[in-house]
Amino acid sequence: MTAAETPALPEPRLEYVFEIRATIDPDLRIGRGADEVLTFTPVSGGSVAGPRLNGEVLTGGGDWAVERSGTAQLEARYLIRADDGAVIDVLNRGYFRATDEVMVRMERGEQVPEEEPGLYFRTAPVFQTDAPAHRWLAEHQFIGLARDGEGENGEPQVCIRVFAVR
């Protein structure tokens, strides 16, 4: 079969399912070496809201980040309790990088939107649960568009709009 005979593949479709707003505590610098920095950011609560899932982010867990050459590789692990009481495990891996200009704006406290040129903050969350009502979470691929945010009382949050890949 030649390239011209290869059937066209369908474009993936994204369905917005919910937003995670994880409240975070200050970073803890663990260190590592001259060319990389390892940090841990504790997760201290938060919320989940959207058309397919509502609930709360439980206290505990956190985000480990290794920064190399201006790009941070992220791995967060935490729990969500859905409104119906089901507990959902979240493993969220991704990448963060920003231009110097965007970093200055973020450090001033400016809320920089996900689509801002010079900002790349993307994740690939994986969910685990045995709750029948939420089994769909453990059976689909997801992507997240992330940004820094603030909670109702001004506490720092990481906000992740989660999309199911269809």
Nearest to 52 by CA among 90, 87, 83, 21: 83
Three-state DSSP class for 111? coil
Residue 8 lies in a domain: no
Domain encompassing residue 73: 21-165
Residue 55 lies in a domain: yes
Residue 144 lies in a domain: yes
- pLDDT for 3: 67
Residue 3 lies in a domain: no
Highest mean pLDDT out of 22-36, 102-116, 129-143:
129-143
Tokens 């689909």 map to which residue? 140
Instruction: Tell me how many helices (H) and strands (E) the chain has.
Output: 1, 10
Cβ-Cβ contacts under 8 Å for 106 (sequence gap 6 or more): 98, 112, 148
Under DSSP, the state recorded for 23 is E
What's the pLDDT band for 67 if we cut at 50, 70, 90? very high
> Where residue 59 sits, what CATH number does that domain have?
2.40.160.20
The number of folded domains in the chain is: 1
Residue 70 lies in a domain: yes
Q: Give the residue-averaged pLDDT of 78-91.
A: 98
